[in-house]
A and B are shown apart, each in its own frame.
Chain A
Amino acid sequence: MMKHLLAAGALCVLGTNAALAHITFETQEAPVGSTYKAVLRVPHGCEGKATTAVRVQIPEGVISVKPMPKPGWTLQIKKGKYEKSYQLYGETLTTGVKEVDWSGGNLPDEFYDEFVFRASLAADLPAGQMLYFPVVQECGDATDRWIEVPAPAQDEDALESPAPGIKLLPKK
């Protein structure tokens, strides 16, 4: 009995550690056609070095993105054309934010921080599927790229540097 408990405990701890090592979202699922507050959790630097920039690519279907400024970090957005147009509150959107960069900061490997933006998830995004936000983490001259997206039928755990993602839920 004790053995099983220990094993389960060990598994639990190991499992959490593995998840903690990646850059992930605090909220891991959201319904389509809703507003989503994305909190990117950055648990460590790049192989011991302090994080100096975090850049997020916004996938198609995520519109009206507004990042939250962060003291000590320079916030920049890159805008571009959407692949198609979206309706939001009676407005037609064809362009918008494609990338959000927080740079010029200094987050030592020992510390933890969060990077936040708010966005609308388009109503026509496929519910039931995962939506991935590739992230590049820069630490001076070192770079960690959290940009791997699992191939169909591939287990996400097999990836070395998976992109953070959320599960799309049906529209409420």
Chain B
Amino acid sequence: MRLHTGPIAWLVAVLMAVAVLAMPGRAFAHAALVATDPADGAVLEQSPARFSLTFSEPVSPLVLTLVRPDGSQLALTSFRLNDQTVEIDNPEVLKSGTHVLSWRVVSVDGHPVGGSALFSIGAPSAAPMAGEAPDWTLRAAIWAARLFLYAGLFLGVGGAFALALLAGDVRRGRRFVAAALLLGLVAAPVSLGLQGLDGLGAPLARFATPAVWKTALETSFVWTVLVGLIALGLALLSLAGPPGLRKLSASAALLCVGGVLAASGHASAAEPQWLTCPLVFLHGAAIAFWAGSLAPLGLALRREPAEAKVFLRRFSRAILPVVVVLAATGVVLAIIQVQVPAALVHTAYGRLLLLKLVLLLFLFTLAAVNRWTLTAPAQAGDTEVQRRLMRSIGIEVVIVLAIFGVAAGWRFTPPPRALAIAAAQPVSIHIHTLEAMADLSITPGHAGEVAASMVIMTGDFGSLDAKQVTLVLSKPDSGVEPIKRPARKPGDGTWRVDNLVIPLPGRWNARLDILVSDFEMVKIEAPIEIRSD
């Protein structure tokens, strides 16, 4: 890459790196819901004054709706953010029956997540309909816009870079590159609008409404689009602008492509940020270099075989280190995201990665054949080989597009890393009676080996120095005998039961037998929902 190591290029690189590292939005994963108040499935005697949702990381709410027992909806607009908890005011006195608190929030990785919690006033009634089926039209539109954006960024910006720094006097492929750039310039704002629609859970028809765009502008995806537009603009400038600026603006545009990927998305949101952000940056820039060079190179070989030799020589010299960077960053990011090999098969994210790997295998094979068997004779002027090389490059472009399509599909699949974080979240309940109250959390909150932690207080929030606490978990509908385990006191004010095994997921009844004095036992109980994974 000695081609753009001039002082100005270095300055641009440093500025870009600083911009990427200073990018707002430290995120960990898709936010996962940790607790709700009222708890899911709770039966309350009175209408609550407020609701609260606690997540595994800070979120910003997009849509909060209460579905009444008759199916009518009430938009909840008054809420406060308190660290990872969203506190929502209840504007009306709820009538008896089952209500659904439906929520849709955006986590810091820019992806919206949604869900709902059921609770009842007085007694449960038939649950009103609140489920939302995925909007496949919208998903297809998001996927297509993402694919076009990738094409614009990698084929367009990468192509402009290849033309400016590798192609020498060859001018073939300019129209192709310009078309890709224009495609990207359209796809970028459309993607942003679709992100807003997805955030609100609104249909495609509402694309032009201000609320959609306002929502979109509040997500971290806006940074992706902004940096993307800068990259596309710089690439156009290098294509059509003054010759003196060509190399500089093309280099800056390529670095911006790295920044686009690092600005949002699963991989750049993963921990540790100091590692993943630069890796994503390098990965993106390397893709643009490789993918972008293919079309201009292929077209040049077809139209101006003689002039294309210099282009081919420069490309084949630079491509090896680029592919090494691409593969190395890709492998490290995949390991961070997938964590365990089994997740490759068991999760949608892992299966997409496998598909991408298969496509990559084809691509690398073709590229290796091109590099080591075709390049030398083609450079020597063998026209037959040049034609074969050209065809092979054409196939490479198609595979590259297929890989972009697979990568765009990741938009809809949380990575195993995020799933693991969600699975490790505890389930917590609060039990409150006149005699005593308790906070019980079971970590992780799914079936299998868990630990339970309890904080016991008197009914009026006073300290309760219990002599003994026993946790009894029962699931009468399962035929499993109640699990009765004495808790021990580790000395930090809590009571703990370790090495507890919950054999089945579902709704368990948790009872705490609190020995207040020698002859007085208080038993409090509440249902607790154990996840399946």
Give chain A's interface residues, CB within 8 Å of chain B.
Answer: 55, 57, 134, 136, 145, 147-148
Contacts and interface: CB of A to CB of B under 8 A. Distances in A.
A136 B518 contact: yes
B132 interface: no
Interface string B52-81: 000000000000000000000000000000
A134 B516 CA distance: 13
B520 interface: yes
A134 B521 CA distance: 10
B515 interface: yes
Nearest to A163: B519
B374 to A, nearest CB: 81
Contacts of B515: 145
Contacts of B523: 148
A148 B523 CA distance: 9
Contacts of A147: 519-521
B519 A57 contact: yes
Closest 8 A/B residue pairs (Cβ)? A134-B519, A57-B519, A147-B519, A147-B521, A136-B518, A148-B521, A145-B521, A147-B520
Interface residues of B, number: 6
Given A136-B519, A145-B521, 13 more contacts: A55-B518, A57-B518, A57-B519, A134-B519, A134-B520, A136-B518, A145-B515, A145-B519, A147-B519, A147-B520, A147-B521, A148-B521, A148-B523
Contacts of B519: 57, 134, 136, 145, 147
Interface SS of chain A: strand
8 contacts: A57-B518, A57-B519, A134-B519, A145-B515, A145-B521, A147-B519, A147-B520, A148-B521
Contacts of A55: 518
Nearest to A161: B521
Interface string B500-529: 000000000000000100111101000000
Interface string B179-196: 000000000000000000
B109 to A, nearest CB: 49
A160 to B, nearest CB: 9
Contacts of A57: 518-519
Nearest to A59: B519
A79 B50 CA distance: 50
Nearest to A146: B519
A57 B515 CA distance: 15
A36 B523 CA distance: 31
Interface in B281-323: none
A21 to B, nearest CB: 17
Contacts of A145: 515, 519, 521
Interface SS of chain B: strand
A155 B519 CA distance: 20
Nearest to A136: B518
A23 to B, nearest CB: 13
A83 to B, nearest CB: 15
A22 to B, nearest CB: 15
B476 to A, nearest CB: 13
Interface in B457-491: none
Contacts of B520: 134, 147
Contacts of B521: 145, 147-148
Contacts of A134: 519-520
A3 to B, nearest CB: 27
B469 to A, nearest CB: 13
Contacts of A136: 518-519
Contacts of B518: 55, 57, 136
A68 B519 CA distance: 21
Nearest to B482: A160
A55 B519 CA distance: 9
A55 B518 CA distance: 10
A42 B521 CA distance: 21
A156 to B, nearest CB: 14
A140 to B, nearest CB: 17
B121 to A, nearest CB: 22
B119 to A, nearest CB: 24
Give the one of B519, B520, B523 with max A CB within 10 A: B519
A145 to B, nearest CB: 7
B431 to A, nearest CB: 15
A53 to B, nearest CB: 12
Nearest to A57: B519
Nearest to A55: B518
A57 B518 CA distance: 9
A57 B520 CA distance: 10
Contacts of A148: 521, 523
Nearest to B518: A136
Nearest to B484: A160
A10 to B, nearest CB: 23
A47 B296 CA distance: 85
B416 to A, nearest CB: 44
A92 B32 CA distance: 66
A136 B523 CA distance: 17
A145 B520 CA distance: 9
B69 to A, nearest CB: 28
B367 to A, nearest CB: 72
A147 B467 CA distance: 14
A142 to B, nearest CB: 12
A38 to B, nearest CB: 16
A135 to B, nearest CB: 8
Nearest to B521: A147
B384 to A, nearest CB: 90
Interface string B83-115: 000000000000000000000000000000000
A14 B152 CA distance: 80
B278 to A, nearest CB: 60
Nearest to B515: A145
A147 B520 CA distance: 6
B256 to A, nearest CB: 69
Nearest to A56: B519
Nearest to B523: A148
Nearest to A145: B521
A104 B520 CA distance: 23
B335 to A, nearest CB: 51
A30 B56 CA distance: 60
B233 to A, nearest CB: 73
A88 B518 CA distance: 29
A159 to B, nearest CB: 9
